[in-house]
Structures are given as C-alpha cells and as structure tokens.
Amino acid sequence: MAKEQVLVSGGAGYIGSHTAVALIEAGYDVVIIDNLSNSDMNAVEGVRKITGVDVPFEKVDCCDKEALRVIFKKYPFRSAIHFAAYKAVGESVDEPLKYYSNNLCSFINILELMREEGRENILFSSSATVYGEPDALPVTENSPRKPSTSPYGNTKQMCEDILRDSTAAYKGLKGIALRYFNPMGAHPSALIGELPRGVPNNLVPFITQTAAGVRECLSIFGDDYPTPDGTCIRDYIDVVDLAGAHVAAISRLIEGRNKANYEIFNVGTGRGVSVMELVKAFEKVNNLKLNYRIAGRRAGDTIEVWANTSLANEELGWKATRTLEETLAAAWAWEKHVRGL
C-alpha cells in the first residue's frame, strides 16, 4: 500500500526539518518545500542522512500561488503542515508589511490550493505568544488571547482565525493549530538543529554561541522580575518532542479522530524554567562556565508563561519526554558540530 504523503512547507527550517524526520520515522512519505529564505540545503541533506530516505525537496515560495499549484498537481498528499513564515519578532516591528505579506499570503495560498485541489488536513504553527502576559498560569487553550505586541504575533492570531473560519466554511477541510511554547535543542544526531542568521534573538542559540566563543557574553534581560530568582520564566520544549506532537496531530486528522473541524493544542512541557535555571543547567550538563551578565529588561518581554498540556496529553496521546539536561546537551552538541569544535 502506498504511504500516506504529507507536504511540509518550511521543511528546511528548524522545526520543519525535525518534523520531517519524525514523520518519516512514523511511516509517512514527506515532500519538503521551502524558499530557503531562512535556511539552506544542509538541513534537507541532514533529514536525508538521518532517515536514509531521499526526501523530495522543491524550492518554492509559498507566496507564489502558481508555483505552489504545480506542487499540488505533482504530489498527491492529502495533508500539509505549514511552517513557512518569518519569525523574528523585533524585525516584524521594523518591517511589518514584510511579515503580514509573507505570513498571511503563504498561508492563504496553501489553504486556497487545498480547497481547489481537494486536500483535507492542515496543521498550522502557532505560538504561545498569542497568550501575551497571562492572567492565570498555566495557560490552557481556553485562556484568552491577548492583543499582540508585535506584527509577528498578529500574524499568528490572524492565521489562527483564518484557519478557524476556513474549516468552518469549507466542507472537507480540517485543521489544527499547535501553539508552541519555547522550542529549543537539536536532533541527537547533531545533523540538524537551529541555525539563526546574524545575532540570535532567542535565549538558547545565544547561550550556545557564547559557549562556542562566537558571542562574548550572554546578557540576561532582567533579574528584578517578580519570579523566585528574578528572571523570566518560560516553558522550553525540546524540538524532537515538538516534532512528535506534529506526528500525533496530523495522524489524528488523517485517521479522523478529531472532535471538531478546528482544534487547538498547547505544545509545551507544562513546566516553567527561569532564564537563570536554564543557564545553570546548561553549564552543569555540559561541564563549562558561561560568560554572562545581568542586563536591563528587554522591552515587551512576558514575565512568565508555561503551558497546561493536559489537552495534548489526553487527546493527542502525546507528552514531552526529553529532560532539560538532554535538550541542553543536544543544543551544545549541535553548536559544536556547526562550528567544527
């Protein structure tokens, strides 16, 4: 019997490449498309090497609907996972139109083609950023979405709404939005991982680059927050666990186990970790000293957020399993691989 095929848009990127591996390991056929605006072919080669499968890759911009249509005509997938988007929060404030244009057009094109070409199942990469500064912790899927503080965050809220309305209106279209908390780490093979261009905005790549000597010193943005050690708290989710959540969610749609045409799941560990705890854990598990200093608060930072993951645990049958230490060891192994250390 032919394998069920899944389109992975943005599959050369950080989360997409790990998800491609997890899908293949779970028995799916994968087609990767990407315009390589924030990635390169090394990730695709990494996926091929890890899985031993010559995964098809097509260089396509999802904003180019006719080019995308060619992909839909060429491959018979029933399901798609849409990662293709820009994701730098700060840049989105400076260049909002770039973000609205890319993140909305690419998703609308995918949805229109799914409808026009009779495809059924779509997963969308959303974010815990939609919760803003929560009123109560941990956040559940029913916690209110807060007005976004960035155009990037707005695109996540808008795309969630577009998916909700489309799955309500168009018979045969089913969708799930996965709200990721803070993805980090890398594949244990160290063949794929996170490769930020320029100065990293996110904590873990900044830590690993500092440990590798690429950055001089990590700035911890604020130690005077109302948290036990004064630093901000997040729910850090291992990227391999996160990839597994995509397999669970797409399987639910493919096998028709969904309870509504549109569903939302938090994807986190359910545990809050402070910046300082994370830095200390990184030092301990990798047996090194990190050069860091306490700096001023970063504008717009949420003080603390972590997930209630009961819904994903119960409905998707998925749970994060990797420990903070395993994840931080994998992140460092990947950085060393990239730097040739």
12 three-state secondary structure? coil
Binding mask 226-255 for ligand UDP (x = CB under 6 A): ------x-x---------------------
Give the rounded distance of the alpha carbon of 55 from its chain centre: 20
Nearest to 18 by CA among 153, 176, 193: 193
Q: Name which of 125 and 182 has its Cβ closer to ligand UDP.
A: 182
Across 210-225, b (16+ Cβ under 10 Å) vs e yields: bbeeebeebebbbbeb
Which of ligand UDP, ligand NAD, none does residue 125 bind to, with CB < 5 to 8 Å depending on kind?
ligand NAD
Q: Which stretch binds ligand UDP (CB under 6 A): 12-20, 75-83, 199-207, 254-262?
A: 199-207
Site string for ligand UDP, 203-222 (x = CB under 6 A): x--x-----------xxxx-
The one of ligand NAD, ligand UDP, none whose footprint includes residue 13, by CB under 5 to 8 A per kind, is ligand NAD
The answer to the question of residue 275 lying near ligand UDP (CB under 6 A) is yes
φ, ψ of residue 305 in degrees (nearest 5):
-155, 130
Expressed in angstroms, the distance from the first to the final Cα of the chain is 45
Closest CA to 34 of 17, 52, 54, 53: 17
Q: Give the pairing of strands 5-9 and 262-267.
A: unpaired
Q: Which residues of this protein are in contact with ligand NAD, per CB under 6 A? A: 10, 12-16, 34-39, 61-63, 83-87, 102, 106, 125, 127, 180, 183
Residue 44 C-beta: closest distance to ligand UDP, Å: 25
Which of ligand UDP, ligand NAD, none binds 36 (CB below 5-8 Å, type-dependent)?
A: ligand NAD
Residue 201 interacts with which of ligand NAD, ligand UDP, none, CB < 5 to 8 Å by class: ligand UDP
CB of 127 to ligand NAD, least distance (A): 3
Phi and psi torsions of 144, nearest 5°: -65, 145
CB 215 within 8 A of CB 196: no
Compute the chain's Rg from CA coordinates: 19
User: Would residue 317 be called left, alpha or beta, if left means φ above 0 and alpha means ψ between -120 and 50 degrees?
Assistant: left
* 182 part of the interface to ligand UDP, by CB under 6 A: yes
The residue (of 56 and 230) whose beta carbon lies closer to ligand NAD is 56
Residues annotated as part of the active site: 152
Q: Give me the residues that bind ligand UDP (CB under 6 A), please.
A: 182, 201-203, 206, 218-221, 232, 234, 275, 298, 301
